Amino acid sequence: MLSTTERTRLNRAKHKTRTDRAELYSLLDEGLVCHMGLVVDGSPRVIPTGYGRIDDTLYLHGSTGARSLRTEGEVCVTVTLLDGIVLARSSFHHSMNHRSAMIFGTPRVVTDERERWDALRAITEHLAPGRWDAARRPDAKEMAATRVLALPLAEASVKVRTGPPGDDEEDYALPIWAGVQPVRTVFDPPVEDPALRHDLPVPEHVLARVTR
């Protein structure tokens, strides 16, 4: 179960709250991009980035030269999956069917080399399953240029909206179409790098992800 705190408690639309930790894991595993909010030199920033999860820890990475990754203090990381556009009879009640997670915490810089290696593998595999074993591994110079952050999933909330629009009762009689326009993520056939120097087939781990 997810532990409720003042920051993760929904004050409105409480019925959208999910407290099963398994739903948090499922959402994070399905998403591909997170947004990390933090304050850098007194200015708020929201940075889109890839991530990976190992058990109850979320891993993020970037250049050691990035000021955002050198900043100490708390961050807020969000992941949102859009499932549909909710078209109501009134513009006021238009909405989105979605699943979203919000994670608060103070990330730590990962210094243990084994954990850094495992974290980078998790991030790579999350973005492109099967790629870690197919690509060249990071060398010492690349590892030195990479900072890895570990964010515990101790303080997190999950919010889910599903179903049709919720119009005002008097609006249901209006001759206006209403419903949901579903949204989904698909993977198209891969496009090869024009700089390829060998006649190579597309790897199976890449083809396997193409939406049928």
* Model pLDDT for residues 155-203, shown as the tens digit of each residue: 999 999 999 999 999 999 999 999 999 999 999 999 999 999 999 999 9
Per-residue confidence (pLDDT) for residue 66, from 0 to 100: 87
Weakest mean pLDDT among 67-71, 87-91, 196-200: 67-71
**pLDDT value of position 191:** 97
Whole-angstrom distance, CA of residue 172 vs CA of residue 190: 45
Compute CA distances 194 → 22, 128, 197, 199, 201, whole Å.
Answer: 42, 20, 9, 11, 14
Listed residue (74, 101, 86, 76) closest to 20, CA to CA: 101
Q: What is the pLDDT of residue 26?
A: 97
- pLDDT category of residue 11 using cuts at 50, 70 and 90: confident
pTM of the model: 0.92
Distance between CA atoms of 208 and 205, rounded to whole angstroms?
5
The neighbour count for residue 94, using CB atoms within 10 Å, is 13
CB atoms under 10 Å from CB of 110, counted, come to 22
Task: Identify the CA nearest to 77 among candidates 108, 54, 105.
Answer: 105
Q: Which three-class secondary structure state does DSSP give residue 65?
A: coil
